[in-house]
Amino acid sequence: MTPPELERQLAFLREIDRLKSVVRLSPLIDRSRRENSAEHSWHLAMYALVLSGHAAGTIDILRVVKMLLIHDIVEIDAGDVPFHDPATHVGQAEREQRAAERLFGLLPEAQAVEFRDLWHEFEAAASDDAKFAKALDRFQPMLHNAATDGGSWVECAVTLEQIKARCQPPIERGAPALWAAASEMAEAHYRKP
């Protein structure tokens, strides 16, 4: 007989497999298809490990990695909302909050609280850990779009001004050197004839 705590953990792990089915607008760099949210979360965890030296503040890399691995789990219920389609943003915060309660609520209480707290911390982007995690979350799609001749920027007619408004503040707050690189990549794309 499986202990109740383990059964709750296994139920959560089975449920989050659904994150692999949430397709994002961002293309893979090889352009073979769009990435899914599970791949995005894993890739961001790798970004944190590789780019941690560029964090603006003092960070706890394990906490950053945890945030990045759980930050999009709510998309299982709430879906992924592209930033350049404002109509899809209506009610998104409420949908994500309900999703966080349901999904993290599958876990034993102590883990549920820890994961919800980390998710809220990421969303608020106030701590150094969360600022860096949020910076990476905005930086990674920029790198993908720049590496794919504009990717979803072109597909959705996104302007350089929209990218800067959305990405510059969080990336600059969490990792200024990454904003310098991201800005350079975006500007180079928009300078192309």
Name the pTM for this structure.
Answer: 0.94
Write b or e for each residue in 92-130: b if 16 or more Cβ atoms lie within 10 A of its Cβ, otherwise e.
eeebbbebbeebbebbeeeebeebbebbebbbebebbbb
pLDDT score recorded for residue 16: 98
**Per-residue model confidence as pLDDT tens for the chain (193 residues):** 789 999 999 999 999 999 999 999 989 999 999 999 999 999 999 999 999 999 999 999 999 999 999 999 999 999 888 777 777 778 888 999 999 999 999 999 999 999 999 999 999 999 999 999 999 999 999 999 999 999 999 988 999 999 999 999 999 999 999 999 999 999 999 998 7
pLDDT score recorded for residue 187: 95
> In the beta sheet, which residues pair with residue 184?
none
pLDDT score recorded for residue 48: 98
Cβ neighbors of 62 (< 8 A, separation 6 or more) are: none
What are the structural domains of the chain? Answer: 4-191 (1.10.3210.10)
Query: Which has the closest alpha carbon to 84: 170, 183, 164, 192?
Result: 164
pLDDT score recorded for residue 18: 98
